[in-house]
Amino acid sequence: MQALVGLAVSDAALLKAFSESQRRVLDLTAHWDASTSRNSMWGIGFHAHGEMLVRKGPLRGNLPGAMAGHLKDVRARHVVLVAEVHDTTRKLEDCSPLRYRDWLFAATGADTLGPTFPAQVQSELPTYAFSTKRHPTHDEAVMMLVMAALERMNARDTRDLTTRAIQRALGVAAERLRGLADDANKVELLVTLHVNGHLFVFAIGRPIWIARFRGTGDVVRPGRFTRNEHLRALVIGDRTTDAAVWEQLSPGLGAEVDIACDLVQFPA
C-alpha cells in the first residue's frame, strides 16, 4: 500500500494552520486497514534554508491525522507527503521521498514497472554512478531516469525564465518509462518532482487528483469570511478522503504548481 500527495500553499506561514484544519484531507492512510505491518513508513520533503530537506520514520499504527502532525514545524510553500507499507523490509533511505542535488523526488507504484526495470535503467545510464549500484530500488531507478531526461534538456541544474524545458523533459521521461516497463499496460505509477518554487506531477496508468482550498478553516461565524481568507491551497496526487471536492485531471497530462498555487497542465 502506498499513497502520495503534494501540498501547495500560497503563504508558507499558514502551512501549519492549514494542515491542522485539513487533517482528514492529508490523512494518507485513511482507507488502509486498522493495523499496519512493521515494514511501513511515512515521509515528507520540502525546501527550506536553501536546500531540500527530507524527514522519514516508521508508521506507528494507523493514527487518523498523523501526517498533518509531521508538518507542525514546517515552513514551506510546497510539501510532498508519502506513506507506504511494504511486504518486505526496506531501509528508510531507500523509500520516497528522495533527494538529488536541489531536487526532491517521490513516487508510488514504481514496482509496477516490473522486476527487470532497475537493471534496464542501469544499462540505460552507464555514465551514472547508479549504473554500478548493488540492489537498486525501483524508486531510485525512476528518479535517475527522470534526472537524466532533465540533464539532456539542460533543465536539471539551470532553468530558463519559464519551466517549459522541465515540462518537455518530464514528457520525454514518461515516454521512456513506458518503453522500459516490463508491461506498459500494467504500470500504475505516480511521480512528484519538486524544485524550489515549483511542484511537478505526472502519472502513468493511474489518475491524478486535485483539491483546491481557500482559507485555513471554517468561518468563525455565519456570514463571515473563512479564517485567513487570502490563503490559496492545493492538494495534488492520490485522492485521500471525501473531506474535500476532488477533481480528476485529464489522462496523459502532467501538472505544474507554482508558489501562487496556480496549476498548469502539460503533456506527459
Q: What local confidence, expressed as pLDDT, does residue 225 receive?
A: 64
Question: Is it the case that residue 204 has pLDDT exceeding 80?
Answer: yes
Where would I find the H helices in the chain? 15-21, 66-69, 117-124, 138-152, 164-180
Q: Is residue 172 part of a domain?
A: no
What mean pLDDT value characterizes the chain? Answer: 90
Stretch 62-81: mean pLDDT: 87
User: Taking phi first (over 0 means left), then psi (-120 to 50 degrees means alpha), and beta for anything else, what does residue 179 get?
Assistant: alpha
Question: Facing residues of 189 across strands?
Answer: 204
Q: What CATH number did the domain enclosing 67 receive?
A: 3.60.20.10
Q: Is residue 106 part of a domain?
A: yes
Q: State the DSSP string of 213-254.
A: EESSSSBSSTTSPBTTTT-EEEEEES---TTS--EEPPTTEE
Number of CB atoms found within 10 A of residue 177's CB: 25
State how far the Cα of 154 lies from the Cα of 2, in Å rounded to an integer: 32
pLDDT digits (tens, 9 = 90+) for 169-192: 999 999 999 999 999 999 999 999
Domains identified in the chain, total number: 1
Alpha carbon distances (Å) from 3 to 27, 215, 255, 261: 10, 25, 18, 21
Stretch 213-220: mean pLDDT: 76
Stretch 226-237: mean pLDDT: 90
Alpha carbon distances (Å) from 191 to 26, 103, 177, 237: 18, 13, 11, 9
Q: What local confidence, expressed as pLDDT, does residue 125 receive?
A: 95
State how far the Cα of 266 lies from the Cα of 235, in Å rounded to an integer: 18
Of 144, 64, 151, whose CA–CA distance to 98 is shortest?
Answer: 144
CA 254 to chain centre: 12
Q: Is residue 152 part of a domain?
A: no
Q: Percentage of residues in the chain with pLDDT exceeding 70?
A: 92
Q: What local confidence, expressed as pLDDT, does residue 107 receive?
A: 96
What confidence tier does 229 reach under pLDDT thresholds 50, 70, 90?
A: confident
Alpha carbon distances (Å) from 88 to 1, 38, 40, 142, 257: 12, 9, 10, 20, 34
Structural domain harbouring 103 = 2-111+188-267
Q: Is residue 149 part of a domain?
A: no
Q: Is residue 81 part of a domain?
A: yes
Q: Per mean pLDDT, which range of 9-13, 66-70, 71-75, 181-185 is the poorest? A: 66-70
pLDDT digits (tens, 9 = 90+) for 23-61: 999 998 877 765 555 678 899 999 998 899 999 988 776
Number of CB atoms found within 10 A of residue 32's CB: 16
Residue 145 backbone dihedrals phi, psi, to 5 degrees = -65, -40
Q: What local confidence, expressed as pLDDT, does residue 30 receive?
A: 79
Q: Is residue 64 part of a domain?
A: yes
Q: Are the beta carbons of 239 and 246 closer than 8 angstroms?
A: yes
| 253-258 sheet: strands from edge to edge | 98-100, 103-108, 189-195, 198-204, 253-258, 263-267
- Burial degree of 135 (CB within 10 A; 0-12, 13-18, 19+): exposed
Q: Is residue 89 part of a domain?
A: yes
Cell numbers linked to 84: 507506504
What confidence tier does 98 reach under pLDDT thresholds 50, 70, 90?
A: very high
Q: What local confidence, expressed as pLDDT, does residue 261 receive?
A: 96
Q: Is residue 171 part of a domain?
A: no
